[in-house]
């Protein structure tokens, strides 16, 4: 299930044009219960799912989960022309 889109990123590298979406499923105004990050690449003018990251706050004692987008980065860490997304999130 795709939650509310909280932030989007766009980047281009040697592997193509990418759109990265951070989504959060909100149970109420105070708690996010599920997160999903989706990376799509544009192939022949169409967005194709590259990969996704899923997690939830249903683990023992956690009451919420959210992305810490201010710490997320999109960098070519290997200097080979391919961007590596570093996505940071946490729970309460």
Residue 1 clears pLDDT 60, i.e. is over it: no
pLDDT (tens digit per residue) in 39-75: 999 999 999 999 999 988 776 777 788 899 999 999 9
Return the pLDDT at 26: 74
CA distance 59 to 81: 37
For residue 28, count other CB atoms closer than 10 A to its CB: 8
pLDDT of residue 2: 64
> DSSP code of 14?
T
Nearest 5°: phi and psi at 2?
-95, 125
Judged on CB neighbours under 10 Å (0-12, 13-18, 19+), 53 is middle
The mean predicted confidence, pLDDT, of the chain is 89
Contact present, 79 and 92 (Cβ < 8 Å): no
pLDDT computed for residue 42 by the predictor: 97
């Amino acid at each position: 299930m795709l939650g509310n889109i909280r932030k989007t990123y766009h980047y281009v590298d040697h592997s193509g044009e990418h759109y990265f979406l951070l989504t959060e499923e909100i149970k109420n105004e105070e708690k996010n219960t599920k997160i999903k990050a989706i990376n799509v690449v544009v192939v022949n003018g169409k967005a194709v799912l590259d990969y996704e990251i899923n997690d939830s706050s249903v683990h023992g004692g956690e009451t919420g989960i959210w992305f810490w987008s201010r710490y997320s980065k999109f960098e070519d860490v290997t200097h080979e022309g391919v961007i590596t997304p570093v996505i940071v999130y946490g729970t309460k």
